[in-house]
Amino acid sequence: MKWTFIIFLSVLLFKLILFGGADADEVTNLTETGTEEDDSFDYEKFKQASLITTEAIHNLLSNIKVLEELIRDRENTINIMSEQMKEKQEELRIAQDQIENKDAKISDQNKQLNDQLMNIVNQKQILENTEVEVNKMNETIQALLNQINDNNNFNNARKKEIESQNVLNQAQAKKINTLTKNIQELKDIIEIQNSEINAKRKEIESLKKRISDLMEENEAENDEKTWITIQKRFDGSENFDRNWTDYKKGFGDAKGEFFIGLDIIHAMTHSRQHELLIKLKTKNGTTYYAHYDNFQIGNEEQSYELKSLGKYSGTAGDSFSLTGPLPLKFSTSDKNNKRCSKTHGGGWWYYKCSNNMLNGKFYKSGRRSLGEVYGIHWGTLQNHDWLISLPFSEMMIRPKGA
């Protein structure tokens, strides 16, 4: 019975330790049961031992619970650490993948570096070969530079020769241009002179014809002596209020009213001494004369000035001597004494206007009104009555002694 209890108690403790399936009441009952079955058993000692055992068991259970809590905490910790280990393993796997990728890249880079290195080696070899070629080219260039220097020296010498030749050419070109210009000017002058000569020829032919007509007319009127009419007025058919050019060249018709021209008068009186005969008629038909034995005028540069008249004789009176001191410049409405030409109606040898004027306006009535342009007058014949206008005038010249 004693051993049975001990065995039972041992089983109970084993159960408590392993399974936690017994409690204090069960232990107490078990203790009491063992006591009942064995009267010879020392109950007090056993009870005391049981209490100690029970307390130990309670302590053991408490420790077991604490251990269970620790185990659970450790399990949680292990679980957390396991999750963390999984995460780390995943990170490690990723890192390994990255390392593998980097290794692959490094391998590629190493390959590229090896290729570049080979290229560099090849380039170096090329550079070495190029350097050899460059050295050869430098030698060639130096030789060419030497040739160029020689050529430059030759060219500089040639350039100086060319510059000297250019200076000579420029001087010759200037001479040629000057000669060309002079030739052109001479051509222009020749053309102008030819034009003037042709114009003069035409004028001369015209003058010859007019002189011929005048000479025929004068020969019919004079038996022995030939007078050339240079001006004639009798019917007012010709306008004598003309400009300088017209009086220079002449105008009108030798068979009617006309003025022969200052150029002809100058040419005739300049080459030989001439007489001047002026024939005048009054309104009643009476004829008067004024004769001068040395009539001469200048050229155009001298404004065809009246240089000389000589000695006067006649019946009309010496009206020229009252005009003013010689020489007297010829004037028209556009040259020299313009005012007198405009108020007296024609060109004449004016001083302060004139005491005579045979180229004035023609008045058929023989008189003009106050304020009108002056007519044909000879002061000494009209007793200086400027309202009277003569109906006839004729100026004639001939070589003296003819």
**Contact partners, residue 203, CB within 8 Å, separation at least 6:** 249, 263
How high is the pLDDT of residue 367? 94
How much is the CA Rg of the chain, to the nearest whole Å? 80
User: Which DSSP string corresponds to 82-121?
Assistant: HHHHHHHHHHHHHHHHHHHHHHHHHHHHHHHHHHHHHHHH
Torsions phi, psi for 287 (to 5 deg): -105, 135
- The number of helix segments (H) and strand segments (E) in the chain equals 6, 12
CATH C-level class of 226-399? alpha beta
Quote the tokens at residue 269: 């009186």
Angular region, 364: left φ>0, alpha ψ -120 to 50, beta rest: alpha
User: Is the distance from CB of 249 to CB of 203 less than 8 angstroms?
Assistant: yes
Instruction: State the angle between helix axes of 24-37 and 43-221 in degrees (0 to 180), rounded to the nearest 10.
Output: 160
Q: Residue 356 belongs to what H/E stretch?
A: strand 356-357
Amino acid, res. 383:
N
Q: Where are the domains of the chain?
A: 226-399
- pLDDT tens track, the chain, 402 positions: 555 555 656 656 555 555 554 454 554 554 455 444 445 557 777 777 778 878 887 887 888 888 888 888 888 888 898 888 888 888 888 888 888 888 788 888 878 878 887 888 888 888 788 788 778 888 878 887 887 787 778 778 878 878 887 887 788 788 778 877 877 877 788 778 778 777 776 766 666 555 555 545 554 455 435 899 999 999 999 999 999 999 999 999 989 999 999 999 999 999 899 999 999 999 999 999 999 999 999 999 999 999 999 999 999 999 988 888 999 999 999 998 888 888 888 999 998 888 899 999 999 999 999 989 999 999 999 999 999 999 999 999 999 886
Instruction: State the angle between helix axes of 262-271 and 43-221 in degrees (0 to 180), rounded to the nearest 10.
Output: 60
Quote the tokens at residue 353: 């206007």
**Cα-Cα end-to-end distance for the chain:** 222
User: Is the distance from CB of 246 to CB of 237 less than 8 angstroms?
Assistant: no
